[in-house]
Amino acid sequence: MKLASKKGWSSIVPLRLRRKSATQFCFLPKSKTVKFGPGSTPVYLNVYDLTPVNGYVYWAGLGIFHSGVEVHGVEYAFGAHDYASSGVFEVEPQQCPGFKFRKSIFMGTTSLDPVQVRQFMEHQASSYNGDTYNLISKNCNHFCNDICYQLTGKLIPKWVNRLANIGE
């Protein structure tokens, strides 16, 4: 299922800060949420393969991965571009274009409602400009680690960003 296309929007919708032009925001239903009571929304780390080689080296604890954080049926991720504006974007969960979905990892729960999560992401987006992306020190996995820790108190598994950690 693709996000609704309006005025040329594709399946990737950049997350824009409130002080700039507002974007439409669509909450996609997620059946997994039903298992949890009010005030305890699940947070997932969605992990993607960047290369087909991951299929061979994953079991040895190696690989090159992209990741995004899913909460309230929206996946948030961080990517590079040449501008001094946010590199945080949102996609339909487990559907990040250009990457092969590998697995979803339950990270814990958050008590933030959808509006609070959106406000939280808008605030975090100001710290993740596309022109500050760095494969070793500030990549999509660093973003997800920061977001997951702030939402759930848990860090992402070390294997997700192992290659960057080796490079430090």
Rounded CA gap, 140 and 145, in Å? 9
Rounded CA gap, 25 and 119, in Å? 12
Domain borders along the chain are 31-167
Dump pLDDT digits (tens) for 63-109: 899 999 999 999 999 999 999 999 999 999 999 999 999 999 999 99
Dump pLDDT digits (tens) for 138-149: 999 999 999 999
The pair of structure tokens assigned to 49 is 């393969």
Is 140 catalytic? The answer is yes
Task: Say if residues 110 and 46 touch (Cβ distance below 8 Å).
Answer: no
User: How many residues are present in the chain?
Assistant: 168
- Domain 31-167: CATH superfamily is PPPDE domains (3.90.1720.30)
Is 123 catalytic? The answer is no
Task: Say if residues 145 and 162 touch (Cβ distance below 8 Å).
Answer: no
Q: Tell me the β-bridge partners of 103.
A: 47
Tell whether pTM > 0.95: no
What is the pLDDT, as a whole number, of residue 114?
Answer: 96
Rounded CA gap, 122 and 153, in Å? 19
Task: Exactly one of 66, 72, 144, 148 is catalytic; name it.
Answer: 66
The pair of structure tokens assigned to 136 is 């070793």
Task: Say if residues 88 and 124 touch (Cβ distance below 8 Å).
Answer: yes
Task: Exactly one of 72, 96, 140, 148 is catalytic; name it.
Answer: 140
